[in-house]
């Protein structure tokens, strides 16, 4: 470093993965950074700058690189393709930009390899899939159209086509989660999609989001997130994806609490959109002057209302199960998956019987029954024991249309009025 360059004006030293420097190496490097010769420039490249010692960070100028937007990347590849006489259609360029995930170097590398692979022919998305393998993006787009349209038959058909084509269904599930995230962003602020999507895809997401409620999108993210986790943890990825699709599309027939909550939120959004403007506030009247404290008569305070005096019933426990689950998951996040598979089967004297589809789920909860019992006591106000029971007919043996459907149901008109009231309060909460 101390020797001047032989031909050029400056010497450039690039320290890649600089956060991998040991403490001793960083201390030895400090003197050089404090007093570098005028002909030397050091570039420390890292993806984890917080791991560098403060003594080094304080002696550096920091430049944060960011992901390149998809439209910018497409325009740059069009310019390179024109300059190099590469025949490629716009859909293939868009597919390359999505595969590159913000890295222009990766995009240009794929463009060069695709040009060699197509051997002078116009490169298409089919050529791209042959050269680099299918990402399932087209199948994900078809699935999103079927989901938004509420067509369960078309959705299962798209999963069948993706499976026959050899697509990775775990990757397909992840693509669906990304698609629902785009719809949620479009619902809040469509301008935020300009970086992540091509202009026509951003417009498509806005159109699809217009007919979907916030609650439905949040429910979709939760359902497909659970399906992705279950598919990765040793389950059948196709079965979990199909189950999640049917649970979301057939929400009107799903008695689960999150489905009921999504339906209530959708109705509230429609009623809010159709509601007339509020009337103008009436002219405020001057209140009468209150008498001084010394002559004000005492007012008896109303008696405190009990938390819930109605007897505990199975329906009431089922209505409160979602709140119990949320409390448990806030303390023990790993219990989220087995709790999603659990269903309340019976209320026996002072115990709640939870039905689970397999032994693995039961064993996952067996060591945490105290936490579950504490959450039940906190939500219901009644101490109850927890009994775990494995279903002899495993949910894995059921058809895709049956999986995820539990025996829980909303209370009917013939049920106890207190149960109906508690059930409605729990859903609104």
Structural domain count of the chain: 4
Alpha carbon distance 286, 289 (integer Å): 9
Whether 199 and 92 map to the same domain: the answer is: no
Whether 88 and 157 map to the same domain: the answer is: no
Instruction: Give me the average pLDDT of each 10-residue run along the chain (429 residues).
Output: 89 93 90 89 91 89 88 92 90 89 90 87 85 79 89 90 85 90 90 85 88 86 89 82 89 62 63 56 50 48 45 78 84 82 82 85 83 85 85 52 41 50 55
Answer yes or no: is 281 within a domain: no
Alpha carbon distance 81, 90 (integer Å): 11
User: Containing domain of residue 184, as a range?
Assistant: 137-258
pTM over 0.85: no
* pLDDT of the residue at 276: 55
* pLDDT of the residue at 397: 41
Whether 125 and 227 map to the same domain: the answer is: no
* pLDDT of the residue at 46: 92
Whether 421 and 398 map to the same domain: the answer is: yes
Q: How far is CA 226 from CA 137, 142, 221, in A?
A: 20, 21, 9
Answer yes or no: is 81 within a domain: yes
Whether 231 and 142 map to the same domain: the answer is: yes
Q: Which residues does residue 387 pair with via DSSP β-bridges, in sequence order?
A: 353
Whether 97 and 155 map to the same domain: the answer is: no
Answer yes or no: is 266 within a domain: no
**385-390 and 351-356 beta bridge pairing:** parallel
* pLDDT of the residue at 77: 93
CATH number at residue 74: 1.10.8.60
Alpha carbon distance 218, 222 (integer Å): 6
* pLDDT of the residue at 261: 65
Whether 141 and 234 map to the same domain: the answer is: yes
**351-356 and 40-44 beta bridge pairing:** unpaired
Q: What is the dihedral of CA 146, 151, 154, 157, to 10 degrees?
A: 110
Whether 253 and 173 map to the same domain: the answer is: yes
Whether 45 and 98 map to the same domain: the answer is: no
């Amino acid at each position: 470093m101390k020797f001047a360059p032989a031909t050029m004006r400056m010497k450039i030293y690039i320290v890649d993965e600089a956060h991998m420097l040991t403490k001793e190496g960083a201390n030895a490097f400090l003197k050089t950074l404090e007093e570098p010769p005028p002909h030397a420039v050091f570039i420390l490249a890292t993806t984890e700058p917080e791991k560098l010692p403060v003594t080094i960070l304080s002696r550096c100028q920091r430049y944060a690189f960011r992901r390149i937007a998809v439209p910018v990347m497409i325009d740059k590849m069009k310019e390179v393709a024109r300059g190099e006489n590469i025949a490629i259609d716009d859909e293939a360029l868009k597919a390359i930009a999505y595969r590159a995930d913000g890295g222009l170097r990766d995009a240009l590398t794929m463009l060069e390899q695709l040009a060699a692979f197509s051997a002078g022919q116009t490169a298409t998305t089919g050529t791209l899939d042959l050269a680099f393998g299918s990402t399932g993006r087209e199948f994900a787009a078809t699935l999103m159209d079927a989901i938004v349209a509420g067509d369960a038959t078309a959705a299962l058909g798209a999963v069948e086509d993706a499976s026959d084509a050899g697509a990775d269904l775990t990757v397909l599930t992840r693509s669906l989660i990304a698609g629902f995230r785009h719809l949620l962003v479009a619902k809040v602020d469509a301008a935020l999609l300009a970086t992540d999507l091509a202009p026509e895809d951003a417009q498509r997401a806005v159109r699809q989001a217009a007919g979907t409620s916030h609650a439905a999108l949040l429910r979709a993210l939760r359902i497909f997130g659970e399906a992705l986790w279950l598919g990765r943890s040793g389950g059948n990825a196709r079965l979990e994806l199909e189950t999640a699709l049917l649970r979301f599309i057939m929400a009107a027939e799903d008695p689960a609490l999150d489905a009921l909550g999504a339906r209530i939120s959708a109705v509230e959004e429609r009623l809010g959109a159709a509601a007339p403007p509020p009337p103008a506030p009436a002219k405020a009247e001057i209140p009468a002057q209150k008498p001084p404290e010394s002559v004000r008569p005492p007012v008896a305070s109303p008696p405190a209302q009990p938390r819930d005096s109605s007897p505990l019933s199975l329906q009431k426990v089922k209505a409160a199960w979602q709140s119990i689950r949320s409390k448990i998951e806030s303390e023990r996040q790993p219990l989220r998956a087995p709790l999603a598979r659990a269903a309340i089967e019976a209320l026996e004297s002072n115990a709640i019987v939870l039905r689970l589809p397999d032994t693995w789920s039961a064993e996952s909860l067996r060591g945490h029954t105290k936490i579950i019992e504490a959450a039940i006591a906190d939500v219901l106000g009644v101490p109850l024991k927890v009994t775990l029971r494995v279903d002899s007919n495993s949910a894995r043996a059921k058809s895709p249309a049956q999986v995820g459907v539990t025996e829980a149901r909303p209370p009917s008109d013939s049920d106890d009025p207190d149960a109906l009231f508690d059930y409605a309060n729990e859903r609104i909460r």
